C-alpha cells in the first residue's frame, strides 16, 4: 500500500511539474497579439492621464514663478516627465537632455507623438504668456546604434514583454493607438513571441525536466516490482531507456522549447547525439534513472554467490567506462560551448555556467554513489582481497593506457577514477565509516583537483584558439565582401541627387557634419564596421572645404598613400587596399564626380576598420552589436607590425618598436611566447605583416583559486543534496555532532570576517578611487582650460560660424592628449564644439548641456562641478568648468566626460572583488580542512571516553584512557580513570554479593526441591513401620510398592542434583569452526512430526560459519524448540518458524512459535535461574541458554505478544570477525 502511494505521489508530481511548465510557457512566451495591443493601449492611456495631470499642475507652477525660480524647484528636476520651456524659440529651462527639440514639428499641434533622435515621445505643448512649454514622456527608445548600453526597449510605463515596433501608417499587421479623445496618434505592431529572459526560460525548462524525471521515477518504481519476478527486466529496462533516448534524438521526437537558448548550438553543441545543452539535460535525466536502477539492484544483490561476484566485476569495469563518459562531457562543456567556465573570473560567469557546473557535479555524484556501493559489495563477496587488488591494478593500468594512447590523451582523465576507486576499496576493506566528513572532503578534493586541471588546460586551449582567430582577422583588413558592397554602394551614391545636394550646400555644414550627413544619406548598416572619412578636392588639388582635423589630409598625401602603400582591388574599380596598414587605414576609395554646375571634383573615402575600437571616449556607444568590432579584444594588448616596424599598438603593454624582439624568442615564424609575465601570440605572414596579441599569464594564485572555487561549489552541491534527502535526520540541529558544530563555528567565523572585510575594503577602495578620479578630472579639465585659453583666450565672444570648426579641431586634438571626450557648451547651454560630433549627430546624446550642470554653473555660480551622468544604460563621471577669456568674461562651459576611465575603474573594481573572493574562497577551503583536524583534535579524547564508556562492563577488565594533556579534557579523563578503579572494586564487591545471594537462593531452592520428595519418603517409611507384618500375605507386595515409591523419589532427587550440577559447573567448551545450517536442519528433522511443523527459512547455498561448541549450540536450539512446542496449547498443531538473516558482521537466527505468548509481568524473569512458567522443571533451561550464548560473544533476547506467540532472537558473530 505504501509503495502504491509513493508511485502515485511521483506521478502527481510529474503531472504538476509538466502542467506548470506548460502554463509558464504560455504566460511568459506565447501571447495573444490582440490582448497585448489592448494592454498597450491601456498603458498608453494611463501615461496620457498622468501627463495631463502633471501638465495642469505645471501650468500653475510656471504661471506663478519666474524662469530663474523654476531652476530652483527640486520637484521639477526630479519629475518623471521631461520639461522644456522656450522663449522666442530659445530654450530657457529644461530638466532633461534626453530629447532634442531642434527637430521641426508643427507647433500648432498641442498633443502628439513624435519620433526624435533617440526614440518616440508623447509630447504636450502649452502656451503660458510668452513661454512655450513642452512636456514629454518616452514611449520607446530608438537609437541609431544598438548595443549593451543603448537598447531599443519600451519605457517602464508599458508592461508588455513582446517586441513592439511603431509606425505612422496603418497596415494589415498593426493596431492604431488612440488618444483619450479617440484621435489616432500612431500604430504599433505587436510581435507574436515575447522577448523573455534567460531566467524565465530556465524556470520553464527546469519544471519540464523535473516533470519528466518524476515520471521516469514513477514508471521505474512500477517496473521494479515486476523485475523481482522477471529477472530479464533488470538488464532490458535500462537498455530500453537508453535506446529510447537515442531514438528520440535521432528522429527529433522532442521539439518542445526548441526556441530556447538552451537548444541553441552556439551555446553548446557536442555531436549529433548531444546537439544542445537542453538535449544533454534530458539525456542526463535518463542516465540518472539508469544509475538509480543499478544502485537499487546492487543493494539487493547476493554478492556471496559466483554469479553475484561476476556481476560486480562487470559493474566495476563498467564504472571505468562511465568515468570516461563523465570526462568526455566535462571537457565538451568547456571546448564545444560558448559558456564561460573561467571560474576564477567570477563576473564572467552566467546562469549557464552554473548549470554546466551542476551537470558536472551531478555526474561526479552518480559516480560516487556507484563506486561506493560496488566497492562495498566487492569486498563482501567471495573474491579474495589480493584478487580485488589485482583487479584494481590491471584495470587501472589498462584504462590509463587506453586513455593516453587511443582516447583524449590526458592522463588526468584516467587517474581520478583509479584513485577514487582505490580510496573506496581501502575504506571498504577497513570497514571504515565512509560517511565521515574527512573522507568526503578527501573525495571532493580529488575531484576538484581534477576539475581544476581540466578547466585550466581546456580554458587555456580555448583562449589560444580564440587568439589565433583574432590574429587571422587582424592580420589583414582585405575583405572581398566589402569590395563587392563598395562597388554597388558607390554606383548608387553617384546617382543619388541627395548626395550632390549635400555637396552643393557644403557651406551649411562643417566638414565632420558633412561626412555624417553623407553617411546617413548613402551608406547603410554594412558600413558600420568602418569609420569613414570623406574628402573633396577641386581639379587643382584645392580642398572643397576647410578640413580642420588632426586626421585631415591633402590630395597629394592621399595619392601618395594610394601609390606607395596600397594595391588596387580586383573587384571594385577605384578602390585600393592599404596593404601595410599605414595610418591604420584599411581601404581608400577614389572617384571623380561632376557637380550640378558641371565642375569636376575628386572624391576620396578613407576606410578605417572598427575591429579594434578607439580607446578614447565612447567607442562602445558608437557601434552596433552587429558591427565587426571584436569586443573581446579589450582584454588583450595588440600590436601590428609592417616590415618589422610597429605601426599600431592597443592596450597597456609597452610593445617593442621592432618585431625582432619576439622573433629571437621564437623558433618558428608564428606561435606563443611567454615573457615578462605575459603570453604573446606572434602571427606573421610572408608579406611582412605581423600581429602580436598579448595577455597576462595566469598566476599561481589564480590557478589555485579555480581549485578553491570547485571545492566550494562541489561541497555546497553535496550539502544541498544531503539536506534534500536527509533533512529529517539533520533537523533539529541539536542532533548535530560536536565535531560538526566546531567545524561550522570555525567556518562561520571565517566567512563572517571576510564578508565584513570585503564590504569595508570595497567601500574604502570605491571612496578612494572616487577621490582620485575627481582629482584626476579636475587636473585634466584645468589643463584643458589652459590649452583652450592659449587658443581662444583673446576672444571677446564666440561665433559658431567662425570658431566652431576650429574649436572642434582643437578639442579633438586635446581629446587624444588627455584620453577623454571634451565638449564645449555655449552660455545658453547649447553645444558649441565637441571632440566627438558623431555622438550628437547620431542622436546618441542631445546637444543640450546637462540640466543639473547648467544650474550649478549658471545659477549656483560653481567654479567647478563633477557628477554622474547617463546615456542609455551607461553611467559615467562628467566634469564642468566655466571658461573665461583673458578679460574675465564668461564665454562658455568646458565639459570632460570620464567614460574610458570609468570603464577602467569598473574593471579594476571587478579585479579587486575577484581577488578578494579568490582569497576568501581559498582561505575558506583551508579553514574547512583545518576545521576537520581541529574538531578531530578536540573531539578525539571525548570520542575515546565515549568508546570507553561503551565498553565498560561489570566484572571485566576496563582499560583506562591514556591522555597526557593537562586541560579540562585531561581532568575529565583523570576522573574517568579514577572512577574505573572504584568501579572495579565495587564490581568485585557486587559480584561477591551476587554470588553469595545466588548461592543462598540456590541453596533454598535445592533445599526446597530436596525437601519435597523427602517428606513423602519419610511418611511412607513411618507408615510402613507401623503397618508392616511379616506374616501378612501381602507384606511382600506392600514392600515392593514402598520400594518403587522410594526409588521414584530418589530418581527425582538425582535429577534435581544433576541439573544444579550442570548449571553450576558448565563443561569446558570445545570450540571449532562449524557450519550452522546443518545443525538447524538436524533440529528440524529431530522434532518434526504430525503434530509439530517446523519451517526453516535459510539460503541452502550459503555457509554460515561460526566459532562455537557444537554440543552447546545444539543444546541451545533443543531448549528453544522444546519451549516452543510446550508453549503451544494441547490439541493444537505446533507451528514453529526458524529464520536466518545475514548481517554485516553477525548472523541473526529467530525461533518463532504461535503459542499464547509470555505475559508482560513475567518477561523480565525469563532468563533468571530457577524461574519457570511450567508446572514441572527446574527453571534452568533459558538461564543455561543465555550463559552459553554470552560465552560465545553473542546476544539473545525475545519479543512476545499475548495471543500471537513469542520470537527468540540469537545473534552470533561470523567466524572472520
Higher pLDDT, 547 or 550: 547
Q: How confident is the model at residue 731 (pLDDT cuts 50, 70, 90)?
A: low
Lowest-confidence region among 2-16, 224-238, 448-462: 2-16
1026 compared with 875, residue with greater pLDDT: 875
Mean pLDDT for the stretch of residues 713-732 = 75
Average pLDDT over residues 417-424: 90
pLDDT of residue 1107: 86
pLDDT over threshold 80, residue 1034:
no
Which range has the top average pLDDT, 521-530, 733-742, 906-915, 1001-1010?
Answer: 521-530
Closest CA to 379 of 435, 431, 318, 417: 431
453 close to 412: Cβ distance less than 8 angstroms: yes
Residue 2 has pLDDT above 50, yes or no: no
- What integer is the mean pLDDT of 97-103? 74
Cα dihedral across residues 151, 152, 154, 160: positive or negative: negative
Half-sphere exposure of 273 (CA within 13 A, CB side): 10
Alpha-carbon distance of 471 to 998, in angstroms, equals 99
User: Which alpha helices (H) appear in 336-410, and where do they start and end?
Assistant: 351-380, 385-405
The length of the chain is 1217
pLDDT at residue 103 greater than cutoff 60: no
Rounded Cα distance, 844 and 822, in Å: 16
Question: What's the chain's average pLDDT?
Answer: 82
Please list, in sequence order, all residues whose beta carbon lies within 8 angstroms of the beta carbon of residue 601, skipping any fewer than 6 positions away: 503, 536, 537, 538, 544, 592, 593, 594, 595
Coil/strand/helix, residue 193:
strand
Residue 605 has pLDDT above 80, yes or no: yes
- More reliable by pLDDT, 1103 or 362: 362
Confidence bin at 1177 (pLDDT 50/70/90)? very low
- The pLDDT score that the predictor gives to residue 3 is 45
Kindly indicate the confidence band of residue 49, based on its pLDDT and cuts at 50, 70 and 90.
very high
pLDDT tens digits, 500-543: 887 877 666 666 667 777 887 788 778 888 888 888 898 888 88
Q: How confident is the model at residue 865 (pLDDT cuts 50, 70, 90)?
A: very high
Rounded to whole angstroms, what are the CA distances from 938 to 274, 549, 765, 943, 944?
A: 50, 77, 40, 9, 11
Is pLDDT above 70 for 436? no
Q: What percent of the chain has pLDDT over 70?
A: 85
* Average pLDDT over every residue of 1054-1080: 70
**Over residues 1122-1143, mean pLDDT:** 83
Mean pLDDT in residue range 624-643: 74
Taking only the tens place, the pLDDT of each residue in 565-589 is: 999 998 998 899 998 888 889 999 9
Pairing of strands 1134-1142, 1092-1097: parallel
CB-CB contact of 1140 with 1097 (8 Å): yes
Question: Within 13 Å, how many C-alpha atoms sit on residue 693's CB side?
Answer: 25
3-class SS at 693? Answer: strand
For 704, half-sphere exposure in the C-beta direction (CA atoms, 13 angstrom radius) is 14
Provide the pLDDT confidence category of residue 613 given band limits of 50, 70 and 90: low
Q: Look at the block and give the residue holding cell 561477591.
A: 992
Query: What is the average pLDDT across 656-671?
Result: 78
Q: What percent of the chain has pLDDT above 90?
A: 19
Residue 235 contacts residue 293 (beta carbons within 8 Å):
no
Cell of residue 331, nine digits: 571537457
* pLDDT mean over 1199-1217: 82
Residue 856 has pLDDT above 90, yes or no: yes
Q: What three-state secondary structure class fits 65?
A: coil
pLDDT at 575: 93
Q: Which helix (H) or strand (E) holds 246?
A: helix 232-250
pLDDT at res. 163: 83
What is the C-alpha to C-alpha distance for residues 1212 and 1192, in angstroms, rounded to an integer?
7
pLDDT value of residue 305: 67
Query: What's the CA gap between 155 and 693, in Å, rounded?
Result: 41
Least reliable range by pLDDT among 173-177, 806-810, 1157-1161: 1157-1161
pTM of the prediction? 0.72
**Set of cell numbers at residue 62:** 510656471
Contact 205, 259 (CB under 8 A): no
Give the pLDDT confidence of 1046-1056 residue by residue, as tens digits.
776 677 677 66
pLDDT value, residue 582: 85
Contact 97, 54 (CB under 8 A): no
Most confident of 47-61, 540-554, 609-623: 47-61
Over residues 302-313, the mean pLDDT reads 76
Q: Distance of CA 144 to CAs 149, 519, 839, 849, Å?
A: 12, 12, 10, 20
CA distance 115 to 129: 27
> Average pLDDT of 354-380?
91
Q: Which of 449, 420, 327, 444 has the alpha carbon at shortest distance from 719?
A: 444
pLDDT of 393 reads 92
- Give 185 or 1033, the one with higher predicted confidence: 185
User: In the prediction, which pLDDT does 1176 show?
Assistant: 44
Q: Tens of pLDDT along 147-164?
A: 778 888 889 899 887 788
Amino acid at each position: 500500500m505504501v509503495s502504491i502511494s509513493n508511485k502515485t505521489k511521483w506521478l502527481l508530481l510529474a503531472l504538476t511539474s509538466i502542467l506548470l511548465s506548460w502554463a509558464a510557457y504560455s504566460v511568459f512566451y506565447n501571447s495573444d497579439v490582440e490582448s497585448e495591443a489592448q494592454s498597450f493601449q491601456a498603458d498608453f492611456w494611463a501615461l496620457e492621464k498622468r501627463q495631463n495631470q502633471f501638465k495642469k499642475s505645471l501650468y500653475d507652477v510656471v504661471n506663478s514663478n519666474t524662469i530663474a525660480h523654476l531652476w530652483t524647484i527640486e520637484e521639477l528636476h526630479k519629475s518623471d516627465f521631461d520639461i522644456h520651456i522656450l522663449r522666442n524659440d530659445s530654450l530657457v529651462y529644461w530638466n532633461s537632455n534626453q530629447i532634442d527639440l531642434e527637430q521641426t514639428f508643427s507647433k500648432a499641434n498641442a498633443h502628439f507623438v513624435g519620433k526624435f533622435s533617440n526614440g518616440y515621445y508623447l509630447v504636450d505643448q502649452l502656451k503660458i504668456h510668452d513661454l512655450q512649454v513642452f512636456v514629454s514622456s518616452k514611449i520607446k527608445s530608438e537609437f541609431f546604434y544598438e548595443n549593451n548600453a543603448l537598447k531599443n526597449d519600451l519605457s517602464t510605463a508599458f508592461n508588455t514583454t513582446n517586441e513592439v515596433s511603431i509606425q505612422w501608417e496603418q497596415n494589415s499587421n498593426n493596431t492604431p493607438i488612440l488618444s483619450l479623445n479617440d484621435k489616432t496618434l500612431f500604430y504599433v505592431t505587436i510581435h507574436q513571441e515575447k522577448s523573455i529572459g534567460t531566467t524565465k526560460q530556465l524556470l520553464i525548462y527546469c519544471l519540464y525536466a523535473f516533470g519528466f524525471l518524476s515520471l521516469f521515477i514513477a514508471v521505474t518504481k512500477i517496473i521494479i516490482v515486476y523485475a523481482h519476478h522477471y529477472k530479464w527486466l533488470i538488464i532490458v529496462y535500462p537498455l530500453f531507456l537508453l535506446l529510447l533516448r537515442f531514438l528520440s534524438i535521432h528522429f527529433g521526437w522532442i521539439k518542445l522549447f526548441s526556441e530556447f537558448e538552451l537548444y541553441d548550438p552556439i551555446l553548446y553543441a557536442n555531436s549529433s547525439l548531444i546537439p544542445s545543452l537542453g538535449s544533454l539535460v534530458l539525456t542526463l535525466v535518463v542516465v540518472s534513472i539508469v544509475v538509480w536502477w543499478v544502485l537499487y539492484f546492487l543493494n539487493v544483490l547476493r554478492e556471496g554467490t559466483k554469479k553475484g561476484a561476476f556481476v560486480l566485476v562487470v559493474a566495476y569495469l563498467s564504472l571505468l567506462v562511465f568515468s570516461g563518459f563523465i570526462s568526455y562531457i566535462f571537457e565538451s562543456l568547456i571546448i564545444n560551448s560558448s559558456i564561460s567556465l573561467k571560474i576564477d573570473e567570477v563576473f564572467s560567469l552566467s546562469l549557464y555556467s552554473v548549470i554546466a557546473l551542476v551537470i558536472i557535479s551531478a555526474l561526479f555524484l552518480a559516480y560516487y554513489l556507484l563506486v561506493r556501493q560496488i566497492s562495498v559489495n566487492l569486498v563482501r563477496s567471495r573474491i579474495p582481497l589480493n584478487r580485488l587488488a589485482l583487479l584494481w591494478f590491471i584495470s587501472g593500468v589498462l584504462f590509463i593506457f587506453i586513455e593516453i594512447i587511443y582516447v583524449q590523451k590526458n592522463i588526468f582523465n584516467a587517474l581520478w577514477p583509479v584513485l577514487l576507486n582505490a580510496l573506496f576499496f581501502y575504506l571498504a576493506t577497513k570497514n571504515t565509516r565512509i560517511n565521515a566528513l574527512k573522507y568526503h572532503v578527501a573525495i571532493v578534493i580529488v575531484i576538484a583537483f581534477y576539475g581544476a586541471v581540466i578547466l585550466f588546460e581546456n580554458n587555456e586551449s580555448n583562449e589560444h584558439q580564440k587568439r589565433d582567430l583574432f590574429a587571422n582577422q587582424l592580420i589583414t583588413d582585405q575583405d572581398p565582401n566589402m569590395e563587392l558592397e563598395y562597388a554597388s554602394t558607390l554606383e548608387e551614391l553617384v546617382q543619388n541627387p541627395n548626395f550632390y545636394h549635400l555637396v552643393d550646400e557644403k557651406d551649411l555644414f562643417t566638414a565632420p557634419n558633412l561626412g555624417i550627413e553623407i553617411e546617413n544619406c548613402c551608406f547603410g548598416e554594412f558600413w558600420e564596421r568602418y569609420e569613414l572619412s570623406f574628402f573633396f578636392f577641386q581639379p587643382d588639388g584645392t580642398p572643397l572645404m576647410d578640413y580642420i582635423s588632426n586626421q585631415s589630409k591633402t590630395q597629394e598625401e592621399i595619392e601618395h598613400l594610394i601609390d606607395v602603400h596600397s594595391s588596387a582591388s580586383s573587384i571594385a574599380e577605384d578602390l585600393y587596399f592599404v596593404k601595410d596598414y599605414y595610418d591604420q587605414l584599411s581601404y581608400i576609395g577614389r572617384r571623380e564626380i561632376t557637380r550640378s554646375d558641371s565642375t569636376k571634383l575628386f572624391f576620396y573615402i578613407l576606410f578605417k576598420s572598427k575591429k579594434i575600437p578607439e580607446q578614447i571616449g565612447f567607442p562602445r556607444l558608437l557601434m552596433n552589436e552587429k558591427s565587426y568590432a571584436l569586443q573581446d579584444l579589450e582584454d588583450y594588448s595588440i600590436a601590428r607590425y609592417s616590415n618589422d616596424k610597429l605601426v599600431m599598438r592597443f592596450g597597456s603593454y609597452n610593445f617593442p618598436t621592432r618585431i625582432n624582439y619576439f622573433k629571437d624568442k621564437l623558433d618558428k615564424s608564428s606561435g606563443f611566447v611567454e615573457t615578462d609575465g605575459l603570453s604573446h601570440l606572434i602571427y606573421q605572414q610572408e608579406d611582412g605583416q605581423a600581429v602580436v596579441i598579448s595577455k597576462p599569464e595566469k598566476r599561481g594564485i589564480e590557478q589555485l583559486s579555480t581549485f578553491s572555487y570547485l571545492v566550494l561549489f562541489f561541497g555546497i552541491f553535496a550539502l544541498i543534496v544531503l539536506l534534500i534527502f536527509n533533512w529529517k535526520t539533520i533537523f533539529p540541529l541539536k542532533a548535530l555532532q560536536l565535531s560538526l558544530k566546531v567545524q561550522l563555528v570555525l567556518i562561520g567565523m571565517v566567512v563572517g570576517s571576510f564578508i565584513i572585510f570585503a564590504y569595508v575594503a570595497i567601500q574604502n577602495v570605491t571612496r578612494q578611487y572616487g577621490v582620485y578620479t575627481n582629482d584626476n578630472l579636475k587636473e585634466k579639465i584645468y589643463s584643458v582650460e589652459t590649452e583652450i585659453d592659449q587658443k581662444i583666450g583673446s576672444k571677446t565672444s564666440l561665433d559658431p560660424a567662425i570658431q566652431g570648426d576650429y574649436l572642434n579641431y582643437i578639442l579633438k586634438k586635446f581629446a587624444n592628449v588627455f584620453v577623454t571626450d571634451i565638449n564645449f557648451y555655449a552660455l545658453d547651454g547649447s553645444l558649441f564644439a565637441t571632440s566627438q560630433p558623431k555622438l550628437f549627430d547620431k542622436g546618441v546624446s542631445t546637444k543640450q548641456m546637462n540640466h543639473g550642470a547648467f544650474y550649478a554653473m549658471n545659477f549656483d555660480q560653481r567654479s567647478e562641478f563633477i557628477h554622474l551622468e547617463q546615456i542609455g544604460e551607461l553611467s559615467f563621471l562628467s566634469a564642468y568648468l566655466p571658461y573665461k577669456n583673458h578679460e574675465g568674461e564668461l564665454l562658455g562651459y568646458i565639459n570632460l566626460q570620464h567614460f574610458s576611465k570609468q570603464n577602467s575603474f569598473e574593471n579594476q573594481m571587478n579585479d579587486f572583488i575577484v581577488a578578494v573572493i579568490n582569497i576568501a574562497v581559498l582561505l575558506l577551503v583551508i579553514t574547512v580542512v583545518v576545521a576537520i583536524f581541529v574538531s578531530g583534535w578536540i573531539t578525539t579524547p571525548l570520542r575515546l571516553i565515549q568508546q570507553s564508556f561503551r565498553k565498560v562492563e561489570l566484572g571485566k577488565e576496563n582499560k583506562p584512557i591514556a591522555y597526557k594533556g593537562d586541560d579540562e579534557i585531561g581532568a575529565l579523563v583523570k576522573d574517568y580513570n579514577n572512577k574505573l578503579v572504584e568501579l572495579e572494586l565495587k564490581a568485585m564487591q557486587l559480584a561477591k554479593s551476587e554470588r553469595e545471594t545466588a548461592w543462598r537462593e540456590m541453596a533454598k531452592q535445592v533445599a526446597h526441591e530436596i525437601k519435597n520428595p523427602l517428606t513423602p519418603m519419610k511418611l511412607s517409611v513411618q507408615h510402613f513401620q507401623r503397618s508392616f507384618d511379616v506374616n501378612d500375605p501381602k507384606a511382600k507386595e506392600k514392600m515392593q510398592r514402598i520400594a518403587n515409591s522410594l526409588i521414584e523419589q530418589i530418581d527425582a532427587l538425582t535429577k534435581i542434583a544433576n541439573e544444579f550440577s550442570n548449571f553450576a559447573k558448565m563443561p569446558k567448551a570445545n570450540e571449532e569452526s562449524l557450519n550452522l545450517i546443518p545443525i538447524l536442519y538436524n533440529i528440524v528433522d529431530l522434532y518434526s512430526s504430525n503434530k509439530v511443523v517446523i519451517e526453516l527459512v535459510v539460503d541452502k547455498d550459503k555457509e554460515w560459519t561460526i566459532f562455537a561448541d557444537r554440543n552447546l549450540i545444539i543444546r541451545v536450539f533443543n531448549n528453544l524448540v522444546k519451549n516452543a512446542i510446550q508453549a503451544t496449547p494441547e490439541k493444537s498443531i505446533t507451528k514453529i518458524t526458524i529464520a536466518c538473516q545475514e548481517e554485516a558482521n553477525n548472523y541473526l537466527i529467530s525461533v518463532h512459535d504461535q503459542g499464547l505468548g509470555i505475559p508482560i509481568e513475567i518477561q523480565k524473569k525469563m532468563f533468571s535461574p530457577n524461574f519457570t512458567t511450567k508446572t514441572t522443571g527446574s527453571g534452568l533451561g533459558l538461564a543455561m541458554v543465555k550463559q552459553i550464548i554470552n560465552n560465545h560473544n553473542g546476544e539473545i533476547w525475545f519479543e512476545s505478544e499475548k495471543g500471537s506467540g513469542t520470537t527468540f532472537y540469537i545473534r552470533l558473530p561470523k567466524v572472520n570477525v
